[in-house]
Chain A
Amino acid sequence: MTDPIIEARDFRKTYGDFTAVDGISFAVNSGEIFGLLGPNGAGKTSTLESLEGLREPNGGELRISGVDPTREPRKLRNIIGVQLQSSGLHESITVNEAMEFFCAYHGVPANYKLLDRLGLGEKRKTQYHQLSAGQQRRLVLALAIAHEPSVLFMDEPTAGLDVATRVELHNIMREQQSKGTTIMLATHDMAEAEEMADRIAILLNGKIVASGTPMEITATGAGLTKVSVRTQESSLFEDGYEFPAVTSSSSNEPYRIFFTTDIGPTVAAIIEYAESHKDPLIDLRVERPSLEDRFLEITTDGGAA
């Protein structure tokens, strides 16, 4: 996973006076799952659609496997597969027809086995609008990977899906990755990004404000760990103690909550305090800051974090 397969250099996209993407650069390595995160209007869709050849950049360079998406659309179409947020299918097209139609334009035989693999084998003659939301999403994914692209773009692939279908789609993504497919994932779902992406970039106002592995990004924040404690006699609700590394505290009865920069000394001090007050611990929970916490931290302070 070392060769860059997707590259953006000083990429800019404007719409009239509005700058949607303001000179961003990044590289995605072959076989990686790369998450593109950001609030609405951050420039995710403009970036994705420019890489897919749907929009023309106003500056900079974009390359996928060395191919310029704008100037070499014919070469691009067999390199990439795209799972669009909107299906882009006729309501009355059947599962089989969709597979045959798109494979014909890619110059490959219809991949019926893939339909079976994605649980659509019994739905081959069913029209698109008669499929459930999960089945529709699986069909769109099947069409995106039927020609075995080396790069797969996925825009909000699990939005609105139930938990089981979501897990199933994640398994398919991992399976594609294990075959060497590079996946670029745009999502609002932080848990999904944290779970699936090898690396992520957070876009805000058209600029990349953070990038790296989910763990790296999480670690670069204020890094406050949340410690929630419940004791039998509620001695922690009394005043007159001070724990090391705690920056703030709050209450959510029956829990007392502490935010700490250093978990070890804080937890040790809490336990010692409870023991010294003959107040047995009932529950103690330690929660690392999540990617969502870090994302909110970044996006609410305008990327200054």
Chain B
Amino acid sequence: MTAFAHHLSFELRIGIRNRQLLFLTYLFPLVFYLFMGFLLAEINPFFGEGLVPAMIIFALLAATLLGLPEQLVRAREAGIYRSYKINGVPSTSILAVPALTTMLHTAVVSLIIIVTAPLLFDSGLPNNWVNFTIVFIAVAFASAGLGVLIGVASPNSRSTMFLSQIVFIPSILLAGLMLPLSQLPETFLSISKMLPATHGMNAFNGLAMGVTADFEPWGSVVVLLAGGLFSFALASYLFSWDSQNSTRRGHPLLAILALVPYFAAILLI
């Protein structure tokens, strides 16, 4: 087994042993999904149609924006990256492995939602599974990238939750998870294009769920992939091995550059 495979397998197990990560990756999204399914599907019969993509995006956001950054910051503060550096663990593995394991855990949650939603809430399932998978990967890549970047740029545990919520809360309210994008005022629609969740929902609807997209769905996929690339590249550049060692390559504010693809989306699609 390669060192990377050892690392991946070990982090997957750590994720299952960590109660906070278990809560944010499994319990919180699944309880929220059941709550929304029982409550909103009752109030709005059409909600069930979009329940699967909305709850999968919610699960991805909870795991990658609330769980992943905190995990990275705590490991850095505990001196774990110092010992990694001494023992030759590359920074790319340190960033990629937790992102991959988070995506894998969320894939399990997504499968649970896909299997149970039609039975419990009469929800619609994707009509194009290939596109569904492509969009899932793109959303997971973009949100994991943002999560990793927040973890790298955040100076400490206290700031991490604040930075995560700056993306998480608007995503829940404005990205089309709770109510269709078409019902948002024009200004909010533009703002919502700054969020990966908006593009995820738009791409799921237009490419996999057989629902009319609010804007070019493949454009959303490109924005998500570009956003993920920008985020991971910036995280790799700004990565610091050590909380006590102030030397890092760039100012953490450079992390804002990860929003460039989303700004472009406002102008181009």
Contacts and interface: CB of A to CB of B under 8 A. Distances in A.
Interface of A: 15, 52-56, 73-74, 77-78, 80, 82, 84, 86-90, 92-93, 97, 100-102, 104-107, 127, 143
7 contacts: A56-B247, A82-B83, A88-B80, A90-B14, A100-B10, A101-B7, A106-B87
Contacts of A77: 86-88
The 4 lowest CB-CB distance pairs between A and B, nearest first, are A88-B83, A77-B88, A104-B3, A92-B17
B14 A93 contact: yes
Nearest to B3: A104
B12 to A, nearest CB: 11
A259 to B, nearest CB: 43
B111 to A, nearest CB: 25
A54 B243 CA distance: 12
A230 to B, nearest CB: 51
Contacts of A80: 86
B17 A127 contact: yes
A82 B86 contact: yes
A97 B89 contact: no
A54 B7 contact: no
Contacts of A73: 85, 88
Interface residues of B, number: 27
B7 to A, nearest CB: 7
B2 A104 contact: yes
Interface of B: 1-3, 6-7, 10, 13-14, 17-18, 75, 78-80, 82-89, 241-242, 245-247
B78 A102 contact: no
A93 B241 contact: no
Contact of B83 (A74, A87, A107): A87
B86 A53 contact: yes
A84 B260 CA distance: 41
B6 A54 contact: no
Given A52-B86, A87-B83, A88-B80, 10 more contacts: A53-B85, A54-B85, A88-B78, A89-B80, A97-B13, A100-B10, A101-B7, A102-B87, A104-B1, A105-B7
B3 A105 contact: yes
A101 B83 contact: no
Nearest to A85: B79
Contacts, number: 73
B195 to A, nearest CB: 32
A56 B79 CA distance: 17
Contacts of A82: 83, 86
Nearest to B88: A77
Contacts of B2: 104
A53 B242 CA distance: 12
A36 to B, nearest CB: 17
B10 A54 contact: no
A84 B10 CA distance: 21
Contacts of A104: 1-3, 6-7
A97 B10 contact: yes
B79 A54 contact: no
A104 B10 CA distance: 12
A97 B88 CA distance: 16
Contacts of B18: 92
Nearest to B241: A54
A127 B82 CA distance: 20
Nearest to A52: B86
Given A52-B86, A54-B85, A105-B88, A93 B79 contact: no
B10 A86 contact: no
A84 B83 contact: yes
A106 B7 contact: no
A93 B10 contact: yes
A74 B88 contact: yes
Given A101-B6, A104-B2, A105-B3, A54 B88 contact: no
Q: Which of B2, B7, B14, B83 has the most CB of A within 10 A?
A: B83
A155 to B, nearest CB: 11
A82 B83 CA distance: 8
A268 B45 CA distance: 106
B14 A54 contact: no
A101 B10 contact: yes
Contact of A54 (B13, B75, B82, B89): B82
Contacts of B247: 55-56
B88 A92 contact: no
B101 to A, nearest CB: 13
A88 B79 contact: yes
B14 A89 contact: no
A101 B87 CA distance: 10
B158 to A, nearest CB: 20
A15 B14 CA distance: 36
A50 to B, nearest CB: 11
A105 to B, nearest CB: 5
A101 B5 CA distance: 10
A28 B85 CA distance: 24
Nearest to A16: B246
Q: Which of A102, A107, A143 has the most CB of B within 10 A?
A: A102
